[in-house]
Structure 1
């Protein structure tokens, strides 16, 4: 999938580049990001929008689905993030994706307490090929028995065909993992059918030798599965380069090696859109020291080169999409806007979250 850029528009989405409001002042004081400061102040337009959590996905997931031409604009969420069949194509399952309604089904670890259940961050599951295949082989016969074909796409990334579940409202793992899981379980006419499937799979995996071996190695037991991203046989009409992110479904959507800003800037052509997932994992677990270090790398490896390209006219317009779980800020700029010398560069626009 080519990602071209010449005298054209460049869009860079950085999930969790907006600090949480309760920590924002302290985190901003610790950052040294002159390129971001300039782009946040010497812009053509800057807007913050509150995100509708009823969409059951995070703002960057809704943005990605829209950028791929699979869903409406993020500020009009109506279909969540119907990404499953696009991810299937990234796993080489083109023929299967062209037929039926598919969901991503991801092996998971659920923490159970007296008051709630908590879905662990799936990036921390560390599921290798052998364990993923072994658990898949246990679950597949039951899924086929109830008329729901199950395919293995990659370690920790499976696909379930359920045409009659097309109306099921599901939530993404990242939207769910920091919340009480019971509030984010699938909703709709067939929600009970999924719960039955989930319970059966949980029993198949309970105290299985694969899980016993994992726990002996200090890894989490795989004691549940998560369903989300349902989509019909649609083909993406847009393209987005995925840089980092850690989640297997994001890796599957990236049809090229991890791109860099310099590589993209060196390719003449049409518009480019990039989702940079470096901050997701650290923000999800609240590791703000790691978040700060990653923000500094983003400044050096992405924002500084893009600002230089904007000044030099190699990019006609630069759009930034900076988000956290409750909203996102969009910043658009052009070379002419950089001449607004009376606007002192600052990171304070990151605080504008209302």
Structure 2
């Protein structure tokens, strides 16, 4: 088996601010091939590496299949626990899902209050994982467009609510759920423990399982739920995050989007990847940034002595 190819999924360059690569990293980036820009954003970045047929974005169904294995035959909508804080202009989404540090006790305490509301509406709610709550819907359920929580974090809640006649029912359900959660005594206990209350839900990720998910990779490394759900559906090896690069034995997609320190990226990931490439243990490396920019790094580029170093990942 030949040396593997690796893609580093990285956050947008602006997340690193004014930080700069070290000399070796800047030299390698300056000599790399700058690839054509792709569409920016979380979803387009993942769709550059996964093909879904039909082409849609049913993350609720994909993550449900990963969490419970029973997604087939229904449509799914995530109804993740959320914390919104009122302000002078309305309310803002400050946290949802895993950011709320929920345990089994939290789900066991809060879900019973919501089950009659959603059950009566024909959308049973449950939580196979404490941080991920689901509504089961009929397969042909007509749904409005919902916004992913990553796109609404810190923003005015009302700018991201489902719109139009199709969204009216969901706005009503959300309002009733917020009343139930706001009055729930379990939230007072969470606040006493220094934890954010679960005072809202976030609807997103609607859809049914795709007929087919494929990828050119054989493995992924990372913890982000959408990536792991897509990888599982495509039959890829799903591996936990690592603290430093080690040359893989198969083509691998490595999720480094949580990184915010360019020095650590250069030291723990880029430098050892370059060393593996020079030793013939890595065939090539691609840097794929969430802002759509991308670079291809290959062994033969070390002879591009005329290229100037590039110390930042910015466009």
Cα shift readout 1:204-252 (whole Å, capped 9, x = no counterpart):
212211101011112211110001112212253236624245xx66676
Q: Secondary structure, in 3 states, of the residue corresponding to 2:14? A: coil
Aligned length: 304
Whole-angstrom CA distance in 1 between matches of 2:174 and 2:115: 12
The TM-score normalised by the length of structure 1 is 0.76
Q: What is aligned with 1:336? A: 300
**Which structure 2 residues correspond to residues 222-233 of structure 1 after superposition, within 5 A?**
222-233=198-209
Whole-angstrom CA distance in 1 between matches of 2:282 and 2:314: 27
Please tell me whether the aligned partners of residues 86 and 236 of structure 1 are also in contact (alpha carbons under 8 angstroms). no
**Which structure 2 residues correspond to residues 170-319 of structure 1 after superposition, within 5 A?**
170-187=146-163, 189-234=165-210, 235-238=212-215, 241-245=220-224, 255-259=238-242, 262-263=245-246, 265-267=247-249, 269=250, 271-279=251-259, 291-292=260-261, 295-319=262-286
After superposition, the Cα gap between the structure-2 partners of 1:35 and 1:169, relative to the gap in structure 1 and judged at 3 Å, is farther
The TM-score normalised by the length of structure 2 is 0.84
Structure number with higher strand proportion:
2
Whole-angstrom CA distance in 1 between matches of 2:28 and 2:271: 10
Cα shift readout 1:47-83 (whole Å, capped 9, x = no counterpart):
44563xxxxxxx13332245232379xxxxx84x432
Whole-angstrom CA distance in 2 between matches of 1:97 and 1:35: 47
Tell me whether 1:70 sits opposite 2:52 in the alignment.
Answer: yes
Whole-angstrom CA distance in 2 between matches of 1:12 and 1:244: 14
**What is the CA RMSD across the aligned residues, in angstroms?**
2.8
Q: 5+ residue gaps in structure 2?
A: 232-237
After superposition, the Cα gap between the structure-2 partners of 1:37 and 1:71, relative to the gap in structure 1 and judged at 3 Å, is farther
Tell me whether 1:116 sits opposite 2:90 in the alignment.
Answer: yes
Please tell me whether the aligned partners of residues 110 and 184 of structure 2 are also in contact (alpha carbons under 8 angstroms). no
Q: CA deviation at 1:332?
A: 1.3
After superposition, the Cα gap between the structure-2 partners of 1:172 and 1:242, relative to the gap in structure 1 and judged at 3 Å, is farther
Q: Secondary structure, in 3 states, of the residue corresponding to 1:351? A: coil
After superposition, the Cα gap between the structure-2 partners of 1:35 and 1:152, relative to the gap in structure 1 and judged at 3 Å, is farther
Q: CA deviation at 1:189?
A: 4.8
Please tell me whether the aligned partners of residues 51 and 214 of structure 2 are also in contact (alpha carbons under 8 angstroms). yes
Whole-angstrom CA distance in 1 between matches of 2:43 and 2:150: 9
